[in-house]
């Protein structure tokens, strides 16, 4: 039995004793606290790779198969609610929509056990499902240095309802991204599959046979050396927008992981200094729409650009 870990990526190599076992059954026997039904949904969402490719729950394991499982598991340390401030965009008896600032981690992970949005949620909303866990009511997430909208369930039924919508890809998620260079097409689709970078496990990369991923972009504004994009996220892969736009050769401004040093090519000293002082990438979850779990009504929430990003745009246009 594998110990619970706060790492997001688990790997297994199949030995002779597990040959012929169903994939979902094997994972349920190895990952504590995850039911077989829940793991089936993870497999169907292509968050499990067998020898680098998505598979089915019914796949029968073969000797030497290599499994890669993309999960967020509960941390091994105790989880303590914390009185941290939260910007609430909307709240009712079923859910709460919050506006996450850049720099705030959504939930505890490797080496991060406090000061997260999850710690704050557990303090402010003690009735959240899984309130004592590291993911109280949380059904999706944003990168640490991405700001914007997150919906959090306040009841078990809402948690299940919202999770189903995210899994079925019926949730509308739109981001604002400032990228390097002038994107030539007014709009486009990026459908490149994603997986862990084999040479650097903290990064994601476009990998043939990886998880399917779809990002749809539209040009909002063009500048001399930059383009402001609206990006609709059709799937929710780790770092998806950042990796896709870097693959397009137009990395997100301020993205040190996938930017390839493009910020260093900026000639304007004041602008270069302002970008470096951001301490984040120019990526903001601006719009979020879904069917309300209680009423079934389609609801839309919006979040304006935070001051540090709107100020940077003003610097570019001057």
Question: Catalytic positions, please?
Answer: 143
Distances (CA, A) of 165 to 132, 139, 158, 291: 24, 10, 11, 8
209-247 as b/e, with b when 16 or more CB fall inside 10 Å? ebbebbbebebeeeeebbbbbbbbbbbbbbbbbbbbbbb
Distances (CA, A) of 297 to 128, 228, 291: 22, 31, 5
The SS3 assignment for 133 reads: coil
* 318 Cβ contact list (under 8 Å, min separation 6): none
| Interatomic CA distance for residues 103 and 106, integer angstroms | 10
**DSSP letter at 110?**
T
Nearest residue to 68 via CA among 197, 190, 243: 197
**DSSP letter at 154?**
S
Dihedral angle of Cα 232, 237, 241, 247, to the nearest 10 degrees: -130
CB 154 within 8 A of CB 137: yes
| Interatomic CA distance for residues 282 and 246, integer angstroms | 13
Q: Which residues on neighbouring strands pair with residue 230, listed in sequence order?
A: 176, 218
Q: What share of the chain is helix, strand, coil (3-state, %, to 5)?
A: 25, 30, 45
């Amino acid at each position: 039995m594998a110990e619970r870990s706060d790492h997001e990526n688990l790997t297994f190599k199949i030995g002779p004793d597990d040959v012929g076992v169903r994939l979902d059954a094997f994972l349920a026997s190895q990952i504590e606290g995850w039911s077989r039904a829940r793991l089936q949904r993870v497999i169907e969402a292509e968050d499990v790779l067998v020898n680098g490719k998505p598979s089915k729950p019914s796949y029968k394991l073969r000797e030497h198969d290599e499994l890669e499982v993309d999960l967020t598991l509960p941390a091994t340390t105790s989880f303590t609610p914390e009185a941290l401030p939260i910007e609430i965009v909307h709240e009712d008896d079923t859910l709460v929509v919050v506006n996450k600032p850049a720099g705030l981690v959504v939930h505890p992970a490797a080496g991060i056990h406090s000061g997260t949005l999850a710690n704050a949620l557990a303090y402010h909303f003690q009735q959240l499902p899984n309130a004592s866990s590291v993911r109280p009511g949380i059904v999706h997430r944003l990168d640490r240095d991405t700001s914007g909208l997150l919906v959090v369930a306040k009841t078990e039924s809402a948690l299940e309802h919202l999770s189903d919508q995210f899994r079925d890809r019926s949730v509308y998620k739109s981001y604002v991204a400032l990228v390097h260079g002038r994107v030539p097409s007014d709009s486009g689709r990026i459908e490149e599959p994603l997986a862990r970078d084999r040479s650097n496990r903290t990064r994601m990369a476009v990998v043939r046979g990886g998880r399917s991923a779809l990002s749809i972009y539209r040009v909002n504004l063009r500048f001399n050396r930059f383009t402001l994009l609206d990006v609709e996220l059709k799937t929710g892969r780790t770092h998806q927008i950042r990796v896709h736009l870097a693959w397009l050769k137009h990395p997100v401004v301020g993205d040190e992981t996938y930017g390839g040093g493009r910020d260093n090519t900026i000639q304007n000293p004041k602008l270069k200094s302002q970008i470096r002082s951001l301490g984040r990438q120019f990526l903001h979850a601006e719009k979020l729409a879904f069917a309300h779990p209680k009423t079934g009504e389609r609801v839309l929430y919006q979040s304006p650009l935070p001051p540090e990003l709107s100020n940077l745009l003003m610097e570019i246009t001057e």
